[in-house]
A and B are shown apart, each in its own frame.
Chain A
């Protein structure tokens, strides 16, 4: 029996999102479509608190915003005004002189068994409050509150949804390459709160979140029978998906969470099937003598992108969700695999192999506008941040002994390593938590 390793992340937001004042017309803004933007200088002051928690919350917010590449948090040692009372209007001159275009103030208070966190975002040049909210939660969830505040700041200034209050499920790898131990693990997007979800000698691969994040579908070699499984994160309960006569692999959820789409391998051929999780009925979507795999639904659920070597090499194809209208969309040099439809619907990310290199790239769903974001010895398996602006993938540098997780902006800039305690692969980014 599996141990209950997953502790439910409970956040009770009583009176969430209380706006203190109607947001002023924002003069401070970032256009994130511009590519390599100059990061916005922002002053994030220590939240007023009775203990170190105020500083800790502030540090998480600053780290999130800095990693996005769009903000440049100003060193606290440069601050002139000491914010004693976050309810009072700051002395904007003191912030303008250190070139802070935006200013964040706030407070964390323990009330009964709960934690109250509140923040205000100020435009220092217009002298107006751009946002202000307060949240209640259990004290152990203080990092989540910090991520939620970072998301609110990001959204107010960029006009886009943030992605900081999210998690990543991935495969943690340890031991030598020819005797690897693999475990499913889950962590916050910044690498904190890591929890191991499986602990056996069986190979586990390719985890993916359900849309409501209560479940993960993945592949396991348990019992010497490689198959697709479902894992309930809260209870640790596992079950096999379907009763197929061969290896099932490359599972993902449909956007409504009602189906799992995957490949079934039989006699050397791999075709794509769906299984309805309520009725347990299976539907075959492709029927070729080729390898059809790595399916990914469009966010509206009406189309599916997948890879197939039916034309000789791995290429990307798009079909309708009933399997009709299968059309090849990738025509560049090399082979294309692991397509993933953006949550915004506008792009498909992929792995490309060409000239002995592995790249991560994006193209439009009709195959036009291909752009390569990063190229090297081995880059594989992109996954989208829920706002469709950032991708995570895994990279193995030659001679490094294993792969690590990286994130990169859609622009191809701001590449960052995502910290994990061991080697890591197969990341899947969650939707925004609710």
Chain B
């Protein structure tokens, strides 16, 4: 059952070879009314995935194998070529596992003023949502929120950190 292939391209094949996992995941989703816990948490507790071997369809699978975030250029909201590839993978995955609540978080780096950065993060979240919508994920299903420059992931005072903090993160919630 365990899967070591972490390449996104290989993921579909792996999944296809493991129909049992998909079926079990579906069952858990249907039974989810008894518990509002996230599906992947339940799956993890059942021992379906371990460290480095994310259960297909889990949030860990999404984060590790698909890529939950895209990055932006300074003061820009345009979706870069590398980000377009990530969002294409996200859209494909989200269509396959449509039961997640989706929130796109927009963030800015520290090299801007607070209020503008709140607006800039919102713009990045909107641009990301619109791109996902163009790939067939209903925009009405995607919530957005901006954290401006208030939640950096990388903490240093140079470009190596700022470029990681200018991001939009697709966060999956329970359904």
Contact = CB atoms under 8 A, between A and B. Distances in A.
A377 B157 contact: yes
B126 interface: yes
Nearest to A377: B157
Contacts of B115: 206, 249-250, 263, 293-294, 337-338
Contacts, number: 88
Interface string B122-138: 11011100000000000
A293 B116 contact: yes
B77 interface: yes
Interface residues of A, number: 43
Contacts of B152: 177-178
B118 interface: yes
Contact of B118 (A178, A249, A307, A399): A249
Query: B interface, how many residues as a size bin?
Result: 20 to 34
A221 B122 CA distance: 14
Given A314-B116, A380-B114, A426-B114, A270 B122 contact: yes
B120 interface: yes
A353 B125 CA distance: 24
A249 B118 CA distance: 8
A83 B122 CA distance: 64
Most buried by A among B110, B114, B122, B153: B114
Contacts of A219: 118
A144 B75 CA distance: 45
B113 A337 contact: yes
Interface string B94-105: 000000000000
A265 B155 contact: no
B28 interface: no
B3 to A, nearest CB: 31
A314 to B, nearest CB: 6
Interface string A394-406: 0010110000000
A177 B155 contact: yes
21 contacts: A178-B151, A205-B150, A206-B115, A221-B147, A226-B118, A246-B122, A247-B122, A247-B146, A249-B115, A249-B118, A250-B115, A265-B122, A265-B146, A267-B126, A270-B122, A293-B115, A293-B116, A314-B113, A314-B116, A353-B113, A380-B113
Given A176-B155, A293-B119, A338-B114, 7 more contacts: A205-B150, A247-B145, A249-B118, A268-B77, A291-B116, A294-B116, A337-B113
Interface of A: 176-178, 180, 182, 203, 205-206, 219, 221, 224, 226, 246-247, 249-250, 263, 265, 267-270, 291, 293-294, 307, 309, 313-314, 337-338, 351, 353, 356, 377-378, 380-381, 396, 398-399, 425-426
